[in-house]
Structure 1
Amino acid sequence: MAEGHAVHGMAGRVRRLRGQPGRSSGPVVEDFDPGLLDGLVVDDAEAHGKHLLVHVEGTAWSGHFHLGMHGAVSVRRHRRALGEDGLPRTDPPVPAGLAWRFLTAAYLLQITRPTICELLDPAGVSALHQRLGPDLLRDDADPEVAVARLHRSRRAIGLLLLDQSVVSGIGNVYRAELLWRARIDPHSPGSAVPVDALRALWQDTIDLMTVGLGAGWIVTHPDQLVAARDLLVREEPVPRWRKNYAVYLRRGRPCPRCGAAVEAERMGLQTVYWCPGCQVLHG
């Protein structure tokens, strides 16, 4: 499943279509009629956690998409011949699982296999933002709201970090690596973790996800983080180095910090990974 940094990257690519009228197509389903967006102009795109919103000029509707495990967003330039209306004369072949296509004179946007595909009015967009927790990569995120939600709950912090109503955008990879970096056992009740530790966790999450957004992939290894930050400052692309996690997918292997065997178990709907040797169980 795409984690929050990836969806923010998708929103950035969709924004390339801003100001361009396009031909809207796709299957008509109960909550999404692409014909309502035909001939209109993409005004903006935004992410809130793992949710993508595409706002369109000339209508009250916004497209709302959640990609789930198998969804994808593709934005690419094309060189198709244009007709008298300024749009391509022909459409590309329809990919499997197409939910929505928006074809402008220069770009092709395609969203495939989302688990949520619907049109929302302004009230619906507002309700979506209200029910989601703070998104660390959004300018309007309030860290104290997230810290308060984490600290007032007796649920395991490993569950809380994936609860999108508590904090938005963190997925399974970041959960494992962030808690390892913070030396917090995922079974610790949120209420037992010191507030200062939760604030530090929030800031570390911002730092890692900002690098992930710029790099286009999840970077957590200390040496790779240093190199990636240096490249991003120079506005150079970050290569896809070999993934090097501390605990994620490393069950039974030695912790790179203390040497204890990494453990794993089902927590909620996903597997959580942690080191019992150096991650402290609070409470």
Structure 2
Amino acid sequence: MPEGHTLHRLARLHQRKFGRAPVIVSSPQGRFAEGASAVNGRVFKKASAWGKHLFHHYEGGRVVHVHLGLYGTFSESEVPMPPPVGQVRMRMVGSDFGTDLRGPTVCELIDEPDIDDVVARLGPDPLRRDADGSLAWARIRKSRRPIGALLMDQTVIAGVGNVYRNELLFRHRINPYRPGVKVGEDEVAAMWTDLVALMKVGLRRGKIITVEREDDHGLPSYRPGRPRTYVYRRAGEPCRVCGTEIRTAVMEGRNVFWCPTDQT
């Protein structure tokens, strides 16, 4: 599942390519035909993101709300676009740029005020200027759920996925199974500050970078198409810091990774 910085990058791209001009919107697959018809030909005012949710704001107060989920993707194309291939939920065509959306969990038409209802269910987004990290702390400190689960809970922090979750906990030497009530306010504040910085790098670079230069020893954990990490997807390999074998387990349906020495 794409992490929060990916949605913010998409918002910036769509703002740049479609902003302040009419956009041709269709649903070749047919599942979004009514919604596409409602915004087709309207001026695309702006794009915004909150966590893993993307919003396309159109003239007249209509908004297309997209959540990519596990399988959703936007593919880019020059104009004129070729005939659609596969199950294209939504096609957008501007003057010199087009994109196809396939496989999203959510692709729906809402009104501008309805955005508040979506956001009300989410925690603070580290990439938004108005984000308040203390709201995350307020939820973490009351919960006995493992911190590894809480960081993936979008009502606690919006936009954190499995890579950032695992890497952040290692960087702060916190065991993923420690209950939220046992994590200190200073620890949460430090993680929030670090997360904001890491996700800004992801937004700027288009990829997740979490390993400090001094810890990148060229250990055999690199695979094409996935980030170079401390613990994420490195089960059975040596820790970059202490050499202990990285462990993995399933936590609330997702794989968690940690170093048993550094994250006691």
TM-score with structure 1 length normalisation?
0.85
- What residue is the counterpart of 2:154 in the other structure? 164
Q: Secondary structure at the match of 1:33?
A: helix
> Which of 40, 45, 49 lines up with 2:47 in the alignment?
45
- Per the alignment, residue 236 of structure 1 pairs with none
Letter aligned with residue 63 of structure 1 = V
Match of 2:9?
A: 9
> How far off its partner does 1:109 sit?
2.6
- Unaligned runs of 5+ residues in structure 1 are 81-90, 227-239
Q: Deviations over 1:51-93 (max 9, x none)?
A: 1111111x22200111112111234443x4xxxxxxxxxx531
- Indicate yes or no: 2:241 matched with 1:257: yes
**Selected match of 1:173 from 144, 148, 163:** 163
Q: What CA deviation, in whole Å up to 9, does each residue of 1:205-241 have, x standing for no partner? A: 1111110111101111112999xxxxxxxxxxxxx99
Evaluate the alpha carbon distance shift between residue 126 and residue 183 of structure 1 in structure 2; reply closer, same or farther with a 3 A threshold: same
Q: Where do 1:1-283 residues align within 5 Å?
A: 1-16=1-16, 17-26=18-27, 27-29=29-31, 33-57=35-59, 59-78=60-79, 80=80, 92-223=82-213, 243-280=227-264
Instruction: Tell me, in whole angstroms, the C-alpha distance in 1 between the residues paired with 2:196 and 2:130.
Output: 13
- Number of the residue aligned with 1:86: none
Checking the alignment, whether the CA contact within 8 Å between 2:238 and 2:244 is kept in structure 1 is yes
For the residue of structure 2 that corresponds to 1:110, the secondary structure is strand
Please give the alpha-carbon distance, in whole angstroms, between the structure 1 residues aligned to 2:34 and 2:178.
Answer: 41
What is the Cα deviation at residue 103 of structure 1?
1.0
TM-score by length of 2: 0.91
| Structure-1 separation of matches of 2:148 and 2:14 | 32
Cα gap change, 1:32 to 1:161, in 2 (>3 Å): farther
The Cα shift of 1:124 comes to: 1.8
Aligned mates of 2:236, 2:261 — CA distance in 1: 12
Tell me how far apart the structure 1 counterparts of residues 54 and 6 of structure 2 sit (CA, whole Å): 10
User: Equivalents in 1 of 2:54, 2:164: separation in Å?
Assistant: 19
In structure 2, C-alpha distance between the alignment counterparts of 1:248 and 1:207, rounded to whole Å: 19
How many residue pairs match? The answer is 255
- Other structure's SS at 1:52 match: strand
- In the TM superposition, what is the alpha-carbon distance from 1:28 to its structure 2 partner? 4.1
1:42 to 1:174, Cα distance in 2 relative to 1, 3 A: same
Q: RMSD in angstroms over aligned alpha carbons?
A: 2.1
Query: How far 1:250 sits from its partner (Å)?
Result: 1.1
Structure-1 separation of matches of 2:215 and 2:234: 20
- In the alignment, is the contact (CA less than 8 A) between 2:5 and 2:199 conserved in 1? yes
Distance 1:278 1:247 in 2: 11
